[in-house]
Chains A and B, each alone.
Chain A
Amino acid sequence: GGIITQTPKFLIGQEGQKLTLKCQQNFNHDTMYWYRQDSGKGLRLIYYSITENDLQKGDLSEGYDASREKKSSFSLTVTSAQKNEMAVFLCASTKMRTKNTEVFFGKGTRLTVV
């Protein structure tokens, strides 16, 4: 088995601040994802990466940057935190298969902007 580690678990930022969230996986998976989860809105894809140094925009990429310097790590930057923003950011990874592909998630980073 493997594990996805997200740091920090809790992040409190100030309006306008640039904030970075980190994710590490030891599954040796090729593809990694960043999702945002808001109450009542489900999970929305921010960025994903199919291999080292690759970046693909999701539906919610505006206001975010991402970086995949190594296969095992994928970081997300909130370029300018919005006041009163509260959300959970979830990192995930997978190894594509023809069938029964499974995506695995980290425990999340909870962001609060004051």
Chain B
Amino acid sequence: GQQVQQSPASLVLQEGENAELQCNFSSTATQLQWFYQSPGGSLVSLLSNPSGTKHTGRLTSTTVTKERRSSLHISSSQTTDSGTYLCAIGASGGNYKPTFGKGTSLVVHP
């Protein structure tokens, strides 16, 4: 089945620094979504970006489908960005079953 590898597994930053999170996947994906999960919380959709570059607020995602990789860039990190970032991929179709990576745990210190 599909495999999703996220790196780094954990990241510690000082407030104001930028973060770069990576998602690599084993097979062609026509759907890709980034999520944020606060400690003890549920998953919140950040953006859907199966190809190209997409911006929302301080987040920029770049997906290179042919190379089976996506990145999520967080600019000027804030302490409230702390949490886990998950990448999910899948193929379009009636039986859409997103496969998740294990996530990157981000801690932003004041």
Contact partners of B96 in chain A: CB under 8 A: 31, 94, 96, 101
Q: Report the separation of the CA atoms of residues A77 and B36 in the bound assembly, to the nearest whole angstrom.
A: 27
Interface-forming stretch among A20-28, A68-76, A102-110? A102-110
Q: Could you tell me if B42 and A108 are in contact, using CB atoms closer than 8 angstroms?
A: yes
Least Cβ–Cβ distance between B37 and chain A, in angstroms: 9
Contact partners of A92 in chain B: CB under 8 A: 43
Q: Report the separation of the CA atoms of residues A100 and B52 in the bound assembly, to the nearest whole angstrom.
A: 12
Q: Could you tell me if B45 and A107 are in contact, using CB atoms closer than 8 angstroms?
A: no
Interface size class of chain A, counting residues whose CB lies under 8 Å from the partner chain: 20 to 34
Contact partners of B30 in chain A: CB under 8 A: 99
Residue A45 at the chain B interface, CB threshold 8 Å? yes
Contact partners of B31 in chain A: CB under 8 A: 99-101
Within the complex, which residue of B90, B94, B102 is in contact with A42, where a contact is CB–CB below 8 Å? B102
Within the complex, which residue of A35, A50, A58, A98 is in contact with B94, where a contact is CB–CB below 8 Å? A50
Tell me the residues in window 18-49 of chain A with beta carbons closer than 8 Å to chain B beta carbons: 31, 33, 35, 40-43, 45, 48
Q: Report the separation of the CA atoms of residues A108 and B96 in the bound assembly, to the nearest whole angstrom.
A: 21
Binary per-residue interface labels of chain B (2-39) against chain A in the complex, 1 for a CB within 8 Å, 0 otherwise = 00000000000000000000000000001101010000
Residues in B lying within 8 Å of A, measured CB to CB: 1, 30-31, 33, 35, 41-45, 48-50, 86, 88, 90, 92-103
Residues in A lying within 8 Å of B, measured CB to CB: 31, 33, 35, 40-43, 45, 48, 50, 56, 58-59, 90, 92, 94, 96-108
